[in-house]
Structures are given as C-alpha cells and as structure tokens.
Amino acid sequence: MRLRTLILGIIFLLVSGSIVIGAERGGFPLKISGLALPGLFYGSQGWISYSCVEVKPRDLNIGGIPQYPSVMLHYFEEGKKLYADTTMAKLRLGSGDNPLYSEQRYGLRLNWGIPVSFNNTYLYGKYRIENVILWDRGVSTSDFGDYMVGSLGISLVYDSRDDKIHPTTGWYGELSGEQGLKALGGSEDFSKFALELKRFLSLGKTGIVGFHLLGEKGLNLPIYEKYVNNLSALRKCEVLRGYGRNRFMGDVALTGNLEYRSPTYWIEWFGIGGVVFLDVGRIWNSDGDSIKFPQDIRFGTGVGMRMFFAEKFVMHLDFGFSEESIKESPGFSFWIGAFHVF
C-alpha cells in the first residue's frame, strides 16, 4: 500500500506541476494549482499521502457581482494508529495495544462564493462527494468498510488578512454548517457545525503573533467524519501538537492555538523561519465521555520550522511536547505538512 501511494503521489505531483506551469503562461482563463505530498512517513505514528488539483476562474462576474467558484479533486491516504481509548471501546477493539487502521479518501469538492454587503465578507455554498475506505490490520469490526459521503454546506466568512498563504495582519472568522445526506449518495445522514476565529498581529521586524480558536459540534457522525487530533488540507485545524496524531476523537472539538512566528530569512527564492507554539483544548464524544473543565483540558507546547518557496508555498515541521508525550519514546510528537498550521 505504501509503494502504491508513493507512486500515485509522484504521478499526481508531475501532472499537477505541469498544469500549473501551463496555466501561469498568460492568457489562460483558469487559475489552476496543484499539490502533492507523496509518502510522508511518521515512524511510529503512521504515514500520509495527499494530492489535489484546484481549479478557479481568474475573473468571473455575473450581473455585476463577482463570483468565486472553485473545484478541487483530491486524493488522501493515511496509515495511522488509533489512540483514543473511548474510540477503541466504541469500536469494540479492547484495551490492549493500539490497533492500526488505514483510511483512503478521494473525491470532489465544489465551492461557490459571493461577496455580501459588509467589507471582506463572503457567503459560500459547498458541495462534497467522497469515497472513504477504512480497512484494518488484523482487527475485525463492522465499522471498517467502504463508504460514500454526499453533503451540502454553507459558510459565512470574514477575511481581512493581508495574505492568504503567509498572513501578517488581519482577522479571519467563519461560521459554517454542513449536512450529509443519503439523498446525495452518502452512506449516512449527519450534521456538522463550526465556528472558527483567527487573528494575526505584526510585530514589525521581530515577527508575527497568530491566534486560532475553533469550536465544532457534530450530530450522528459516522467514524469517518469524526473530529480527530490531526492536520489535513481536507479538514479544519483541530489539533494539539503535543499529542500523537488521532490521539483524540469525537463529535465535539474545542481547541485553541497560539504561535509566535519569527522573521523569515531569505536566500533567493527560499525562505526559512521558526515558530514557538502553545496548543490547548480537547476533542471528545458527547454521548460517552464525561469531560470536566478545566481538569480534562489538555495542553501542549513546542517549537518548529517554516520553509517558504517563492512566497507561494509554506511547509511546517513542528516538534510538540506534552505531559503525555515526554513519558514515551521518543519524547515528542512530530508534525510535518503543507502550509501554516492555521
């Protein structure tokens, strides 16, 4: 499976890279971008591969109103450990060694946005169709199998950031809802609601401070739609980097992230910078976990590196520490991926 994922990721990277080069040569009516992260291995915490191509019209105006449509084709594959004790009990997997399972997800996402009367405010309609495959590694449970997701969503977005890839000032706020429907080809009906807030403050030559707050609630979520302690371009940033990927899983998420980002040092088209971060929050099941505040809230801290490529792409490499991680080898959680964490 890893070899197949690696080969698919490399092919996707070559194809999407060719499309981007072709689209950037003037006169092309579409803005096309591609990303592939083939075979990023995490050692004891599993592995991940992610590829996507996103297509947007360069300029679209209907009836004097700017339109912001986009279509994204994506492929995501992850081999991971299932850490959450409550989730293991829910899956009847027992309390022994953490079992391994893998997830494969591919499909299409369509977004269509229009500006509303307030400055920097937009209304987006969303459609998602995905095939999700969960398979086990020697563990038998009815929750593993082949599923479909068909959903409609809506979100109200306020975005005053000065840059979408590497913001230094501004606000970002989003209120969103999503409804999964069998009538749209999905395997299950479910609902998701989220409120997200980001704030960025420039410290001039001394760096940037960023703050992120996220609250999410799901209703009737199947396992493949649960919120998990993870990072992916396919989901929001519900992450505590001091803990392992997928350490927490549930239908409620409440997380906050604070980062100091150092100035970026450039050598031609390549830049490098550092971060210091603090993550706080928890992900839990509303129907099974008894969460008490503040004693059940988890904290993690750490340091990381940011690599910039021609000011158009960012990669993060973070080392997170928590009371739990320092008790186990190697003593930290390692996170690597595309873009800023938030």
The answer to whether the pTM exceeds 0.75 is yes
Q: Rounded CA gap, 255 and 105, in Å?
A: 25
Digit-coded pLDDT (tens) for 125-177: 999 999 998 876 555 555 578 899 999 999 999 999 999 888 999 999 999 99
Per the model's pLDDT, the better-predicted residue between 179 and 251 turns out to be 179
pLDDT, one tens digit per residue, over 16-31 is 544 444 444 455 566 6
pLDDT value, residue 89? 39
Confidence of residue 201 (pLDDT cuts 50, 70, 90): very high
3-state DSSP call for residue 205? helix
Rounded Cα distance, 271 and 222, in Å: 41
Supply the pLDDT for residue 230. Answer: 78
Q: pLDDT band at residue 7, thresholds of 50, 70 and 90?
A: low
Return the percent helix, strand and coil in the chain, to nearest 5.
15, 55, 35
pLDDT in tens, 54-108: 888 777 888 888 888 988 888 877 765 544 444 433 443 333 333 456 788 889 9
Residue 87 is predicted with a pLDDT of 42
pLDDT for 15 equals 52
What whole-number distance in Å separates Cα of residue 207 and Cα of residue 166? 12
Judged against a pLDDT cut of 70, whether residue 179 lies above it is answered with yes
pLDDT at 258 (0 to 100): 97
Res 211: pLDDT: 96
Backbone angles phi, psi at 254, to 5 degrees: -140, 105
Task: From residue 256, give the alpha-carbon distance in Å to each of 39, 105, 198, 199.
Answer: 29, 27, 10, 12
Q: Which residues contact 55 (CB under 8 A, 6 or more apart)?
A: 30, 31, 32, 70, 71, 72
DSSP 227-265: EES---TTS-----TTS-TTS-EESEEEEEEEEEEPPPE
CATH classification number, 2-338, choose in 3.30.1490.20, 2.60.40.1180, 1.20.120.1730, 2.40.160.50: 2.40.160.50
In this prediction, residue 99 carries a pLDDT of 45
pLDDT of residue 150: 97
**Chain segment 209-234, per-residue pLDDT in tens:** 999 999 999 999 998 898 888 776 66
Domain spans of the chain, in order of start = 2-338
The pLDDT, as a whole number, for residue 33 is 65
Render pLDDT for 267-279 as a digit per residue (tens, 0 to 9). 988 999 999 999 9
**Region 100-123 average pLDDT:** 87
Question: What is the pLDDT at residue 100?
Answer: 55
Tens of pLDDT, residues 291-302: 777 778 899 999
